[in-house]
Amino acid sequence: MSQKLVVTDQAFGNTRHEQAAAALVGAQFSEHQCRSEDETLEAVRGAHAVLNNFAPMTHRVMAAMAPGAVVVRYGVGVDNVDLAAAKALGVRVCHVPDYGVEEVADHAAAMTLALARKLDHYGTGIRNGEWKIAQMVDGLRSLRDTTVGLIGLGRIARAFASRMAAFGCTIVGYDPYVTNQQAREAGIEPMSRAEVIACANVLSLHVPLTPETRHVIDADAMAQMPKGAILINCSRGGLIDETALAAALASGKLSGAGLDVFEKEPLPADSPLRSAPHLLVSPHAAFFSDASVDALQRLASEEALRGLRGEALRCALT
């Protein structure tokens, strides 16, 4: 009986790398656009390798897979995969942590620069018939006088830090898994999380979504941020209390925010963020470029192929 390689869902437009991987070992191939748990369960029933984007990989879903199956998550985060259940079931899980690093860093930097230079203020002012700068903005901090704070100091955070340092910003950061020496070698002054939040004119988040990091930036954290600070999140939506963020933007406590990710995606029609001022948004697209998408699919497909061959996985999580 041949093996089965299943794509539960994807937003890339083609699955040529995935189909090629299946063909190399004579595996059956199928692709779907699963959203619900029931849809996903039926799609992966008996599968030996599963390539997964956002479909829920629960205990019930993974129990329907073939013994010793592998789940390959397209991307870095695995908050839609029950890792404890996978371990209990003997399902191997891996991800692709090293694609799109430069794209996400570029995206975060672009949002930061647009908000720091208050481009949306100017655009709104001109459309309203204004031309005098003082009527459009209430002060503008030089990037050379700006402190950029990072929560999380992984690959993307460091790439973002190097971009902002080029504009003369002071870079500080917090990551309990990075030594002070490692942070300083990357040009980042290590601080406690509370210190970073309290001093950063721009606060950018670069951590996975876990029970410990959910709403790491809540109303209390925003109250500790400097008045007029900017919040950037190109990591995971659940890191921020979105209701509190909308209130902080409306009150002027924060002068702007850039979000590529949200607690619920697509962003609900009744989200308070939809009417929040000085908010730049994008649809979980920070990773996107022609090159990065191709690399993601190729690397994920190579992992699936290793799984089908019973080989060691490159980026195993369980």
Distances (CA, A) of 236 to 43, 133, 205, 240: 26, 35, 8, 8
**Tens digits of per-residue pLDDT, 103-146?**
999 999 999 999 999 999 999 999 999 999 999 999 999 999 99
**Average confidence (pLDDT) over 214-231:** 98
Strands 28-31 and 4-7: parallel
Q: Is the link from the previous residue into 266 a cis peptide, with omega within 30 of 0?
A: yes
Tokens of 195: 């210190």
In a domain, 11, yes or no: yes
Q: Are residues 159 and 47 in the same domain?
A: no
Q: Are residues 301 and 174 in the same domain?
A: no
Q: Are residues 182 and 213 in the same domain?
A: yes
236 labelled catalytic: yes
In a domain, 314, yes or no: no
Whole-angstrom distance, CA of residue 293 vs CA of residue 100? 8
Choosing from 17, 92, 107, 284, the catalytic residue is 284
pLDDT for the residue numbered 150: 99
Is 128:111 a contact under the CB 8 Å cutoff?
Answer: no
pLDDT for the residue numbered 122: 96
Distances (CA, A) of 235 to 77, 132, 193, 308: 9, 37, 17, 30
Half-sphere exposure of 19 (CA within 13 A, CB side): 5
Is 188:150 a contact under the CB 8 Å cutoff?
Answer: yes
pLDDT for the residue numbered 219: 98
Choosing from 265, 274, 309, 311, the catalytic residue is 265
Q: Are residues 123 and 136 in the same domain?
A: yes
Q: Are residues 94 and 122 in the same domain?
A: no
* pLDDT over threshold 80, residue 1: no
265 labelled catalytic: yes
**Tens digits of per-residue pLDDT, 148-162?**
999 999 999 999 999
In a domain, 254, yes or no: yes
**Tens digits of per-residue pLDDT, 62-87?**
999 999 999 999 999 999 999 999 99
Q: Are residues 75 and 21 in the same domain?
A: yes
Q: Are residues 140 and 18 in the same domain?
A: no
Q: Are residues 220 and 297 in the same domain?
A: no
**Tens digits of per-residue pLDDT, 247-288?**
999 999 999 999 999 999 999 999 999 999 999 999 999 999
Cβ count near 123 (within 10 Å): 12
Is 48:91 a contact under the CB 8 Å cutoff?
Answer: no
Is 86:107 a contact under the CB 8 Å cutoff?
Answer: no
In a domain, 39, yes or no: yes
In a domain, 318, yes or no: no
Q: Name residue, tokens 């933007």.
A: 249
Q: Are residues 110 and 93 in the same domain?
A: no
For the chain, give the mean pLDDT: 97
311 labelled catalytic: no
Choosing from 121, 236, 278, 306, the catalytic residue is 236
221 pLDDT band (50/70/90 cuts)?
very high
In a domain, 38, yes or no: yes
In a domain, 315, yes or no: no
DSSP string over 197-251: HHH-SEEEE-----TTTTTSB-HHHHHHSPTTEEEEE-S-GGGB-HHHHHHHHHH
Residue 51's CATH number: 3.40.50.720
226 pLDDT band (50/70/90 cuts)?
very high
At residue 277, φ and ψ (nearest 5 deg) are -80, 155
Give the total number of structural domains in the chain. Answer: 2
196 pLDDT band (50/70/90 cuts)?
very high
Domain of residue 243 covers: 101-281
Q: Are residues 147 and 249 in the same domain?
A: yes
In a domain, 316, yes or no: no
Q: Are residues 152 and 242 in the same domain?
A: yes
Q: Are residues 159 and 296 in the same domain?
A: no
